[in-house]
Structure 1
């Protein structure tokens, strides 16, 4: 039986930053992998 698309996206695990392990706050059109804190460290 196929799962509905809504149920599929609702059950996806939260994205986790590979640098520090914190959950990443996602926005609809964002493809970033790191959290804001780790991204700001890279800019310094």
Structure 2
């Protein structure tokens, strides 16, 4: 049986920053791979 789209997205694991291991707060239309803190450190 094919799961509903709602169930599929609910069961996805949380996104983790590859730099520091912190969980990333996901937002609609966001394709960030790193957390805000690591992105800010790269800009400095």
Residue number in structure 2 paired with 1:5: 5
RMSD: 0.4
- In 2, the alpha carbon distance for the partners of 1:25 and 1:5 equals 20
Q: Aligned residues, how many? A: 44
The normalised TM-score by structure 2 is: 0.96
Unaligned runs of 5+ in 2: none
The normalised TM-score by structure 1 is: 0.96
